[in-house]
Copies of this chain bind each other. A is one copy, B any other.
Amino acid sequence: MKFELEYTSADSKARAGKLTTDHGVIETPIFMPVGTLGNVKALTNRDLYEAQAQIILGNTYHLNNRPGMDIIRLAGGLHKFMNFEKNILTDSGGFQVFSLASLTKIKDEGVHFQSHLDGTKFFFTPEGVIDIQRIIGSDIMMVLDECSHYPVEHAQAKKAVERTTHWAKRSIEHFRNTEPLYGHAQTVFAIAQGSVYKDLRVQSCNELADLDFEGYAIGGVSVGEPPEMIPEIAEVCTDILPKNKPRYLMGVGTPKDILNCIEVGVDMFDCVIPTRNARNGTVFTKNGKIILKGAKVKEDFTPIDEICECYTCRNYTKAYIRHLFNSGEKLAGQLATIHNIYFYIWLTRESRNAIINDSYKEFNKMILENY
């Protein structure tokens, strides 16, 4: 993987970069649609390509449960299994082990847990999670980390930071001692923890920076803390993390969160908000949110967004999609998802253009007036 920092805003810490892997170029800032189980909910690959998705997410925890690594290996990796030609990043499953699994028991060696699906017992270690991601064949793998709940005592959060650093060391070592399976290169990103404690975030970022990963993620945010803390936490981290490496803020967020975190130097984002909200009938536009189930759009025979070039906006009206939602037709969620993913990627693409044109603050203000 190669990362070039192309441009830094004159008036903020926002940056434009270019990440190159064997599955193509990712221009940052970038939004990465979430495809937990090997598909972005309700979207075909064509929908993703049309949304100009350059990279999507998969999840190690979920894919290890279903379909399981035997199938993924037989398929020749996740790219082939889902026939996706562009980049895939896989989360390590650390977050899911702590939020979703049951009987989770953490030890220095790794973490014991039972699948939320059927109680199957698993033991994830930093090395094992790399091995799984070798089988998945994701372009960007993530280390196993210990993700603190919110709120958490300082002492406990500190322990999680230290274990996360310890695991990151083991991860990068194991990464260096193993080979990709399918002929394309893989890399691994570390994950900074520390909850809402500035000193712990500093400690975590400094310790991880020393390990010389090719990229860094900021984890443990958007777990219940007040949303206004998100850019603050991000900034503490981006101020320390190496400038010449990509920064990925995990699980964030609303258009507002994303724009404010781009402003403090974050390059990569993922979140289920655009897909989940779409299925519930909420869509995002540069002019703000629209509730598609609402009476307000009952007789509105215009697209969700007049200037949007997504398939949905080029072909359907708000009144029609409202009718589908109110009739319980699944096509409603599909059409709204097509739009929201298109919009989120548009938002990061336009942010990038604004950064390059030294007008990022203005762009941010223009959009956030409506949010």
- A residues apposed to B, CB below 8 Å: 37-39, 41-46, 66-67, 71, 74-75, 81-83, 298-299, 301, 311, 315-317, 319-320, 323-324, 326-327, 329-331, 333-335
What 3 A-B pairs come out closest when comparing CB atoms?
A67-B323, A37-B327, A39-B331
Whether the pair B327, A71 counts as a contact (CB closer than 8 A) is no
Q: How far is the CA of A319 from the CA of B42 in the complex (A)?
A: 18
With CB as the reference atom, state the residue of chain B lying closest to A332. B39
Whether the pair A71, B299 counts as a contact (CB closer than 8 A) is yes
Chain B residues positioned under 8 Å from A333 (CB to CB): 330
With CB as the reference atom, state the residue of chain B lying closest to A312. B44
With CB as the reference atom, state the residue of chain B lying closest to A45. B315
Q: How far is the CA of A313 from the CA of B343 in the complex (A)?
A: 29
Q: A45-B315, A75-B320 are in contact. List 12 more A-B contacts (CB 8 A).
A: A37-B327, A41-B329, A42-B334, A44-B315, A44-B331, A71-B323, A74-B299, A75-B301, A81-B317, A81-B319, A330-B330, A330-B333
Whether the pair A42, B330 counts as a contact (CB closer than 8 A) is yes
Q: How far is the CA of A331 from the CA of B315 in the complex (A)?
A: 20
Q: Which residue of the partner chain, among B44, B301, B319, B327, contacts A66 with CB atoms under 8 Å?
A: B327
Q: Given A44-B335, A45-B315, A83-B320, are A74 and B39 neighbors across the interface (CB < 8 Å)?
A: no
Q: Given A330-B330, A334-B334, are A319 and B75 neighbors across the interface (CB < 8 Å)?
A: yes
16 contacts between A and B (CB under 8 A): A39-B331, A42-B330, A42-B331, A44-B315, A44-B335, A46-B315, A66-B323, A66-B326, A67-B319, A71-B299, A71-B323, A75-B319, A81-B320, A82-B320, A83-B316, A330-B334
Question: How close is A82's CB to chain B, nearest CB, in angstroms?
Answer: 6
Whether the pair A320, B38 counts as a contact (CB closer than 8 A) is yes
Chain B residues positioned under 8 Å from A83 (CB to CB): 315-317, 320
Chain B residues positioned under 8 Å from A324 (CB to CB): 37-39
Q: Which residue of the partner chain, among B75, B301, B327, contacts A74 with CB atoms under 8 Å?
A: B301
Whether the pair B71, A319 counts as a contact (CB closer than 8 A) is yes
Chain B residues positioned under 8 Å from A317 (CB to CB): 75, 81, 83
With CB as the reference atom, state the residue of chain B lying closest to A43. B331
Q: How far is the CA of A333 from the CA of B331 in the complex (A)?
A: 11
Chain B residues positioned under 8 Å from A46 (CB to CB): 311, 315
